[in-house]
Amino acid sequence: MKMKAAILWEPKTEWSVEEVELDPPKAGEVLLKLVGSGLCHSDEHLLTGDLSLDPAVAKELGVEQFPIIGGHEGAGEIVEVGPGVTTLKPGDHVVLGFIPSCGRCAYCARGKQNLCDLGAYLLAGRQVTDFTSRHHAHGKDLGLMCCIGTFGEYTVCAESSCIKIEPDIPLDKAALVGCGVTTGWGSAVYAAGVMQGESVVVIGCGGVGMNAVQGATLSGARHVIAVDPVEFKREQAQVFGATHTAASIEEAMPLVNELTWGVMADKVISTMGVGEGKLVESIMGLCAKGGRVVWTNVAPINDTDVSLNLFNFTLQEKQLVGSLFGSANPRRDIPHLLRLYQEGKLKLDELITRTYPLKDINKGYQDMRDGINVRGMLIY
Ligand SMILES: [Zn+2]
Ligand SMILES: [Zn+2]
């Protein structure tokens, strides 16, 4: 079949919306009609070239990263299933997980489905079933962001990327739980392990950070200090439960010091647009002795430099932990968060600042760069 999708032909260019030829699903795959897609910062990393495919994986599979259909925060309805698909049927509603979870590898078996071994192929952009393409344009195979490619009206992806949800949940809101919401919420609830009465700092209040604010609030934090240079995002953070705000790490320092009587924050969650190693030391400075800093934001793939006072790191017994998908389990937490939404405990509607048709995707990303959206969203 033919459909429209946004393709990035090479890094440092623009998204190009054009006609794509889509093959039917093969074994273990499904065809989905997508309702829309969140405009997440991780796709911007494709555009800037910060998110590049490991040359060893490219060689192993014989694939190139570009051209690629972007998008990894989507939801839709199953149209057709390929041979051997047993858990889904046409008409089912699903959220796409940006990490496939096979259910069989050692990580899946111990409930760490966010670390499924199939994650090694996330940036290879092919079907994780047989490592070939179903999407083509101008005679070339197209890659798919996170093996799902939600910047298109339809997609074909693996059954292992699909999380079935209840049919009465609005799909456009459900899409957000595929990446930003779960990543932010889980960063607070699981990776940071926020407990009642703790002081929590969240650095960067976009589509991920806003949900770290909401996760910390739902966990009963006493102070939730939201740090963002954009005034609109600081205002919005208060809608999601922030008790205090600051425009920068420097501005947060005396505020956290005063609020905690010099103890500093129990937990600090870093959810900036781009993670920068040179900021680590000042972020650790916001954290109390024995406290924990969670590093959720994506940094440029080849960055290895970190500024960190290793003397204080030892003597103050601080923790610095990485977190992928909020250390959450897509099969458990996506339906779990959608139930919280239905019960009015989790805010999703308030996250979507603006919606765009597919053809305006470049405007949507410009608005993200300009900081005027918590989350921009494509609606097909
Ligand atoms: Zn994302
Ligand atoms: Zn697995």
The CA 23 to ligand 2 mean position distance, Å, reads 26
d(CA 127, CA 162): 13
**In 26-183, at which residue ranges do the beta strands (DSSP E only) sit?**
29-38, 68-69, 74-81, 93-96, 135-137, 140-141, 143-144, 154-158, 162-165
Could you read off the pLDDT of 78-124 as tens digits, one per residue? 999 999 999 999 999 999 999 999 999 999 999 999 999 999 898 89
Could you read off the pLDDT of 283-315 as tens digits, one per residue? 999 999 999 999 999 888 888 999 999 999 999
d(CA 269, CA 190): 11
Do 347 and 179 meet the contact criterion of CB atoms below 8 Å apart?
Answer: no
Nearest 5°: phi and psi at 42? -65, -30
Closest ligand to Cα 206: 1
The CA 177 to ligand 1 mean position distance, Å, reads 10
Neighbours of ion ligand 2 (CB under 5 A): 102, 105, 108, 116
Closest ligand to Cα 271: 1
d(CA 9, CA 58): 17
The CA 347 to ligand 2 mean position distance, Å, reads 30
Average pLDDT value for residue range 257-261: 98
Closest ligand to Cα 113: 2
Q: Has this prediction a pTM greater than 0.85?
A: yes
The CA 327 to ligand 1 mean position distance, Å, reads 14
* Average pLDDT score, the chain: 96
Residue among 134, 43, 32 nearest 88 (CA)? 32
| SS3 at position 1 | coil
Closest ligand to Cα 211: 1
Single-letter amino acid, residue 328:
A
Closest ligand to Cα 296: 1
Residue where the block lists tokens 């309805």: 77
Helix (H) or strand (E) holding 291: strand 287-295
| Band of residue 53 on the pLDDT scale cut at 50, 70, 90 | confident
Average pLDDT value for residue range 178-192: 97
The CA 72 to ligand 1 mean position distance, Å, reads 6
Could you read off the pLDDT of 60-77 as tens digits, one per residue? 889 999 999 999 999 999
Give the pairing of strands 287-295 and 140-141: unpaired
Closest ligand to Cα 183: 1
The CA 378 to ligand 1 mean position distance, Å, reads 14
The CA 186 to ligand 2 mean position distance, Å, reads 19
Q: Which residues of 310-338 are buried (b: 16+ CB within 10 A; e: fewer)?
A: eeeeeeeebebeebbbbbbbbbebbbbbb
The CA 176 to ligand 1 mean position distance, Å, reads 9
Task: Please state whether the peptide bond connecting residue 67 to the residue before it is cis, i.e. omega within 30 degrees of 0.
Answer: yes
Residue where the block lists tokens 């009963």: 220
Do 125 and 147 meet the contact criterion of CB atoms below 8 Å apart?
Answer: yes
Nearest 5°: phi and psi at 86? -115, -20
Closest ligand to Cα 325: 1
Helix (H) or strand (E) holding 212: helix 209-218
The CA 109 to ligand 2 mean position distance, Å, reads 7
